[in-house]
Chains A and B, each alone.
Chain A
């Protein structure tokens, strides 16, 4: 089973910041938080990941709480092309137990 919980769906106005929450209250000390998104009929696309520090790249920012029990993915200026299902995943450092289990994700609708 997935170790994360996310809202089923969210709306965000185009041009505004989209903030997608994720709860992972049972996360272990060596597990990373990963975010992927899936646009209809395509494979999931990697967005960002982190362990305990906040991270930023050209696509998004990842804010992880100090206790690591939750995180927020931030798309700073959402566009219509950001409409997708967003998945939050916890993943142990690679090894023979690297199963990478996906949950149901959040369906993000960007409204014009």
Chain B
């Protein structure tokens, strides 16, 4: 148990659907991250939030929209996705300084 909880664990959605992924941590961490992991590829950093402020958008298409309403919650809103967006989406958090990342177990997304 890492202290970072992601829901749902699995999600199947059509290309015209709108869905949201949720990440929650009660570790008191100030920074939260979204990563995408496609099959047989390294983890790709998508977004970084520090103290609820987005500090990194790694050229992510606008069909992915992050939201960080408070320091404990992070959302990834999805709309009009493509089949190539099917992947494992991982959330992570860290308190800052050089402390390690704590990862959730991800949401396995399938776009049909």
Q: Note all chain A residues with C-beta closer than 8 A to B43.
A: 44, 87, 102
Q: How far is the CB of A105 from chain B (nearest CB, A)?
A: 7
Number of chain A residues whose Cβ lies closer than 8 Å to a Cβ of chain B: 24
Which of the residues A43, A94, A99, A100 comes within 8 Å of B96, measured between beta carbons?
Answer: A94
CA distance A103 to B4 in the complex (A): 22
Chain B positions 48 through 60: 1 when the CB is less than 8 Å from some CB of chain A, otherwise 0: 1010000110100
Query: A43-B92, A105-B42 are contacts. A100–B33 as well, Cβ < 8 Å?
Result: yes
Q: Which residue of A lies closest to B9 (CB)?
A: A41
Which of the residues A41, A93, A98, A102 comes within 8 Å of B42, measured between beta carbons?
Answer: A102
CA distance A87 to B101 in the complex (A): 13
CA distance A93 to B97 in the complex (A): 6
Q: Which residue of A lies closest to B55 (CB)?
A: A96
The answer on a CB contact under 8 Å between A94 and B90 is no
Number of chain B residues whose Cβ lies closer than 8 Å to a Cβ of chain A: 29
Pick the interface stretch among B11-19, B67-75, B103-111.
B103-111
Q: Note all chain A residues with C-beta closer than 8 A to B31.
A: 94, 98
Which of the residues A34, A43, A93, A96 comes within 8 Å of B103, measured between beta carbons?
Answer: A43
The answer on a CB contact under 8 Å between A94 and B94 is yes
Which of the residues A34, A98, A103 comes within 8 Å of B48, measured between beta carbons?
Answer: A98
Q: Note all chain B residues with C-beta closer than 8 A to A68.
A: none
Asked whether any CB of chain A lies closer than 8 Å to the CB of B28, the reply is: no
The answer on a CB contact under 8 Å between B42 and A34 is no
List 18 additional contacts besides A32-B98, A102-B45; criterion CB under 8 Å: A34-B100, A36-B100, A41-B88, A41-B105, A42-B106, A43-B2, A43-B4, A43-B104, A44-B90, A44-B101, A44-B103, A46-B102, A49-B98, A49-B100, A93-B98, A94-B99, A99-B58, A103-B42
**Can you list 24 A-B contacts with CB-CB less than 8 angstroms, sorted by A residue number?**
A36-B100, A41-B105, A41-B106, A43-B90, A43-B103, A43-B104, A43-B105, A43-B106, A44-B43, A44-B90, A44-B92, A44-B101, A45-B2, A93-B97, A93-B98, A94-B94, A94-B97, A94-B98, A99-B48, A100-B33, A100-B101, A101-B45, A102-B35, A105-B42
